[in-house]
Every structure is written in structure tokens, then in C-alpha cells.
Amino acid sequence: GPILAIESSCDETACAILSPEGEVLAEKVISQEAHAAFGGVVPEIAARAHLALLPDLARKTVEASGLTLHDLGAVAASTGPGLIGGLIVGANFGKGLAIALDKPFIAVNHIEAHALSARLPGVSKKNISFPFLLLLVSGGHCQCLAVEGIGRYRRLGGTIDDAAGEAFDKVAKMLGLGWPGGPQLEALAKKGNPAAFAFPRPLKGRAGCDFSFSGLKTALARQIEPYGNTALPRSVAADLSASFQQAVADVIEDRVRHAFAMMEPPTTLVAAGGVAANGVLRASLTRIAAEHDVPFVAPPLRLCTDNAVMVAWAALEVCHEAARRGLPMPDDRAVRPRPRWPLSEMQERFAVQAE
Ligand code: ATP
Ligand code: MG
Ligand code: FE
């Protein structure tokens, strides 16, 4: 039967119901607004908001699907990595529902869900086959993964300091823009000159595909310093935005080029995470993909940012993979939420069950 999935690992409270084939029957997301006043996600506020929002959101999602709870075949939830308070809320709600309905509960790794989101039917014209190269760039993550199969993820490199979205948000804050800053910085950058400031390109040309953004942030802070407490002229803020955004895109382009060389030739370049919405970055990634003669796929924005559709889809992929291997349908009622859950452990799901 259809699967209901819950996402609560950060500041999005989300539910979705997918058919066993991956058709989206209903989907609802609430982006918590309470954090804007703090200029970042406050874990305790997020957990309480998930708790307040989830029951009603789940009910409305079921209503919107035209199904009843008893039509569901399984329940899934992100159980890590992420903010532990929110994960506990979502996982326990999902487990409770699964137990009440006597259906399996599937624990989904949030990063695995991002990684597989581009394979959701309808996202790409052609079905994306393995291996593919995934660039995950969000507020909390910045990494390149070789996605070699379901449960088989190889981390090629990642940030050694800030995530890309985090850098966008911090810089936007310095420029006096609202939070989250990425979209506003991109809008302002359209009025600026990307060559106005010669910002560094951290780690560019270095072996591997690690990322670093904190030096870039510091370089920008240095340019703002002379203005002290006086407001930045709009044109300077625009030039700073454009120059910063160009530096980030250049660095990511260089790192992804290296990532290509670190894996068996990928069938596709996939980008996910909120920063994948950025137009200048998309242009860079389109160029690298063309150089390698593979398609570039970025799921629509609602699938790139945190959502429950990708969680449901990842659960379906895991169930299909288990079936393909002749293993029983997973039931993860005993799985506990984890703030950290490396993707390298995902293969164990199939190995343990094979014993
Ligand atoms: P997680 O990291 O746990 O996946 P998150 O909420 O931090 O979750 P997302 O919701 O995927 O991340 O994305 C939000 C981030 O994406 C924010 O940092 C935001 O500034 C950034 N972002 C969104 N749109 C753009 C854009 N057009 N340009 C640059 N950054 C953007
Ligand atoms: Mg978010
Ligand atoms: Fe996420």
C-alpha cells in the first residue's frame, strides 16, 4: 500500500504520501518561521514546533490524499542525521502510528533521502542510473558523493568548515539582509558586478574535493569593516554579493570537476539541497556536466530543500532493494534517532538482514 513519510530533522515539518510506484498522492511542508528572528535555526524551538505542528499536518496530508490511515502500507521518518530533538519527535510519531496501524516503520537516513531524490519518477526525463555524482549543498551540508547503488554511497569530499548555505546565510547577515540569506543575496547580486572584489577561491586546484568557505567569509568581513556602523551603500552590497556568489560558484565548480575524476564515470551530475536553487551555481554545474557529456539534473526546489517526498521515496527504494535481494521488508521500530549517521553505514542494512 501507499507510504506516509515524516521529515523533521531541521526546520521543515513535512509529511508526504507516495504510492508504491513513487507517485506523490499528497505532500505538505511547513517551513518554521520562528527562527528568522534569531538569524538561524534554534534546535529547541524547532523540536517544540515539530511537536506542535506534526499531528495536524499528518492528518491533513492523509485527508488530501483521499485515503484513510488504514490504506497505508508503511510509515517512514528521517531518523538522522540532524537536530536530535526534531528527529525524536518525527521518529516517535512515525513509530507510534506504525505500531497503531500494525504496519512496518522504515527509518530513513536524511542524506540518503537527498541523494536519491533525483530518482523520483518524473524528476528527470530519463531514469537516473548508478553510479551518479551528487553535490549536496544546503544550510547544513556541503559534500560530493558517488552514489553507486541503493545503500552504496561513497563520500568523495566535503566541507572542512562551513556548509555552502551557512556561508551564504552568514554573509547575507553581514550585508544586512534577512534570513535565510541565500535567496536574498542572489537577488541583490543580480544588480552587482561579480568582478568588483577579488575574493579568494579557497582550496581551488587542491587535490580531492574538500570545500572551505570560512576564508571567503572573512575576506568579505574585511571589506565591510571600513564602513563601521554606517549602512553599506546599496551598490557596494550588490557588488559584494555578486563577487561572493561568483567565488562560491567557482570553488564548487573546481571541486566538482575533481569529484568527477575520483569515481567511475558517472551517468549524471545531480545537485540537491537549498543552495542548488542558485542560478549562478546551476550555470557552473551545467557547464561541467556538458564537459563530461552527461546530463545535469537538479530536482525542483521543493524537492531540493527539506521535504517528506524524498523521505518516502528513499524508504520505497530501500524496500525495493530489499525485495530485489530476497530480503524481508525492513521494520525499524527499534532504530533510534541519531544526530550523526554516516552514509557509509547504510550498506549494513542489507548485510545485517542477510545473516
Ligand atoms: P539541511 O542542511 O539539514 O538539509 P537546511 O534547512 O539547512 O537543511 P535547505 O532547506 O536544503 O537546508 O536549504 C536552505 C539553505 O539554502 C539556506 O542556507 C539558504 O540560504 C540556501 N539557499 C536557498 N536558496 C538559495 C539561493 N538561491 N542561493 C544560495 N543559497 C540559497
Ligand atoms: Mg531548511
Ligand atoms: Fe536536508
Q: What spacing in Å lies between the alpha carbon of 118 and ligand 3's midpoint? A: 14
Beta carbon of 74 within 6 Å of any ligand 1 atom? no
Burial 140-168 (b: 16+ CB within 10 A, else e): bbbbbbbbbebbbbeebbbbebbbbbbbb
Beta carbon of 11 within 6 Å of any ligand 1 atom? yes
Residue of 84, 114, 141, 306 to mutate, ligand 1, most atoms within 8 A of C-beta: 306
Q: What's the whole-model pTM score?
A: 0.94
Q: Which atom of ligand 1 is nearest to the CA of 272?
A: 11
What does the block give as the cell for 343? 552514509
Residues 6+ apart with CB under 8 A from 182: 165, 168, 169, 172, 274, 275, 277, 278
- Give the ligand with the smallest distance to the CA of 117: 3
Using DSSP's 3-state secondary structure scheme, residue 160 falls into: coil
Q: What spacing in Å lies between the alpha carbon of 78 and ligand 3's midpoint? A: 10
Residue 351: how many other CB atoms lie within 10 Å: 9
What does the block give as the cell for 345? 553505514
Question: Could you report how far apart the first and last alpha carbons of the chain are, in Å?
Answer: 27
Please report where in the chains the cell 542489507 appears, as a residue.
350
The residue whose CA has the least distance to atom 13 of ligand 1 is 274
Residue 352: per-residue pLDDT: 57
Give the phi and the psi of residue 6 in degrees, each rounded to 5: -125, 135
Residue 40: per-residue pLDDT: 86
Sheet bearing 12-18, strands edge to edge: 24-31, 12-18, 3-7, 74-80, 105-109
Beta carbon of 217 within 6 Å of any ligand 1 atom? no
Known binding residue 166? Answer is: no
Mean pLDDT by 10 residues, the chain (355 residues): 98 98 98 90 97 98 98 98 98 98 98 97 95 96 97 97 96 92 97 98 96 96 94 96 98 98 98 95 97 96 95 98 94 96 92 57
* ipTM reported for the complex, 2 dp: 0.98
Known binding residue 186? Answer is: yes
Segments in the chain forming alpha helices (H): 43-65, 84-101, 110-116, 164-174, 181-189, 214-224, 234-261, 279-291, 301-304, 309-324, 348-354
